[in-house]
Structure 1
Amino acid sequence: MLNGNNQLPASMQVSPEQANGNEFVQGIVVSVLSPKVALFFLSILPQFVNPQGGAATQQL
């Protein structure tokens, strides 16, 4: 990806005018929609739910 002087090729460089925060929003959307993230939360969070503690959504 990087050429000899540790820079991206001209076709991959983004000017400051183009970098307006859309990358951050796109990263959040990809993370939320990723099946790996959903499986992680479904496998990790149930162990912290107390059955006598009421609704699971309120405990998390």
Structure 2
Amino acid sequence: MSWFDRLKQGLKKTSQTLTKAVPWGGDPEEVLEELEFALIAADVGLEATQEILEEVRESGKRDLREA
């Protein structure tokens, strides 16, 4: 198995774990808290986790402005 195939397999597994771990569609703050915990548990790293959460918050604000 090539390096790229192993990377894709690992990212797919991470995606599935996050999908199951986070209560999507629930209270926004609860979702963000669970997402933060899941990212840290997945060893994404603190800096990357903070950047991801900020981007999620900003995308939510953009969605509200466009609605």
The TM-score, its normalising length taken from structure 2, stands at 0.30
User: Which structure has the greater CA radius of gyration?
Assistant: 1
TM-score (norm 1): 0.33
